[in-house]
Structure 1
Amino acid sequence: MTEPALTALALSLKVALWATGIDLVLGMAIGYLLARGRFPGRELLDALLTLPMVMPPTVLGYYLLVVIGRNGPLGAWLHDTLGINLIFTWQAAVIAAAVVAFPLVLKGARAAFETVDVQLEQAARVLGVSEFGVFLRVTLPLAWRGILAGTLLAFARSMGEFGATLMVAGSIPGKTQTLSIAVYEAVQAGQDDTANLLVLITSATCVLVLVLASRLAPGRSVPA
């Protein structure tokens, strides 16, 4: 494997791991809120948070530029207050991947929490277990497979993210050039051998993750 391919693979893994970690924390929290909460606008909130799943990645990239760009509200504050510029950095690639993949964790977490029998949670409360204890000792152990399946899908989606990442992070070799962007650049340059290698690496990684997600899907038994 060539050094540029290894560099792109390492960067893609780093971006995907960070993005998936962020999505896991936020997806579990909001998924639990949507599954257990009863408040006006709950389904509207769910629909808005699911938009990245159906919205073109370039549109998401534009929205991210508006928000975290030098002239955007968040980007301007970060630059003027902390001296941080997110655009064309690997952190921007993490944000793009996290936004695009977030609905996969959210949907998986909400569905998993909704399958947990609330009577089991109530029984734990009657026994004096705190709310946090109920979540850790009852809800999460019963819902973890669905959450993990959604998380693995989000990881695979983050590995393959292209459009939004290209708009906010660019294609700087060794810094922001992920596997999917490296494939695009190789094809544009007529480097078919490099493109084939990168495609093979990406496909093998995503297939492995999808197989794991399928085996962990709720309601499916995993052979010993």
Structure 2
Amino acid sequence: MLTAAELQILGLSLKVALWGLVASLPFSIAIAFVLARKSFYGKTLFDAAVHLPLVLPPVVVGYALLVLFGTQGPIGKPLEAFGIVFAFRWTGAALAAGIMGFPLLVRAIRLAIEAVDPRLELAARTLGASPLRVFFTVTLPLALPGVITGGLLGFARALGEFGATITFVSNIPGETQTLPLAIYTYTQVPGADAQALRMSIFSVLLSLVALALSEWLARRSTPQDSRHA
């Protein structure tokens, strides 16, 4: 059985991962659409910048967030005037998780949008639909399985986020201590091997469920002909 402290860690981890996903999803859809459907100067460089969190050490991302969104940072200081604080808060953990999962979201959604037949969008435009209406009534519904798959992958990535989180918001029990940070803490405490093991098992199970769901959705959204090819 999980203790009250472990349940709190689990609940905080789910909250951080969920809000990180919710915050990053609209931006992911917009950027994925631009990369899938638009051509512009510097697109390759922009694409590389979007995927940068995949290859950068997470500590570097966390430090960049601390510099930008810290209470003295160029973004964090004005936000603090409105009562919005990210540094050393669970909201900062959600921000870090959302950014680290952002490239996975964008990639999955971009592939889904690229799989949508542009002729369907063109047909809607010829019937008088605006570009925005075409996107919300044709493109997005057809790409929805990819959006959900990307969301699950981003959620799983957020659950495992460690480096950027601990650098940006530290390891504060009850405030920023998510599953990976709690496991790290337990491994440093003599006699806490059982707690570390339980938290590791729950972390693996949650990630497996998210990955299995994303794989199932990916298979469901694949045309029958291509599956049997």
State whether TM-score is above 0.5: yes
Distance 1:201 1:85 in 2: 30
Distance 2:170 2:159 in 1: 16
Alignment of 1:32-71 (within 5 A): 32-71=33-72
Distance change (3 Å), C-alpha of 1:135 and 1:6: same
Which amino acid is 1:61 matched to? G
Alignment of 1:130-169 (within 5 A): 130-169=130-169
1:95 aligned onto 2:95: yes
- 1:128 deviates by 2.2
Unaligned runs of 5+ in 1: none
TM-score by length of 1: 0.94
Distance 1:74 1:131 in 2: 32
- 1:84 deviates by 4.1
- 1:137 deviates by 2.1
Distance 1:150 1:86 in 2: 25
Which amino acid is 1:193 matched to? A
Count of residues in correspondence between the two structures: 221
- 1:135 deviates by 1.5
Which amino acid is 2:97 matched to? A
Equivalence for 2:189: 189
Which amino acid is 2:214 matched to? A
Q: Deviations over 1:119-152 (max 9, x none)?
A: 1111111122232221122111211111211110
Distance 1:152 1:189 in 2: 32
Equivalence for 1:219: 222
Alignment of 1:6-45 (within 5 A): 6-45=7-46
Which stretch shifts more, 93-102 or 65-74?
65-74
Distance 2:41 2:95 in 1: 29
Which amino acid is 1:14 matched to? K
TM-score by length of 2: 0.92
Which amino acid is 1:6 matched to? L
Which amino acid is 1:176 matched to? T
- 1:220 deviates by 6.2
- 1:71 deviates by 2.6
Which amino acid is 2:112 matched to? A
- 1:171 deviates by 1.3
- Cα RMSD, aligned residues only: 1.5
Distance 1:166 1:110 in 2: 30
Which amino acid is 2:89 matched to? T
Which amino acid is 2:152 matched to? L
Distance 1:161 1:114 in 2: 29
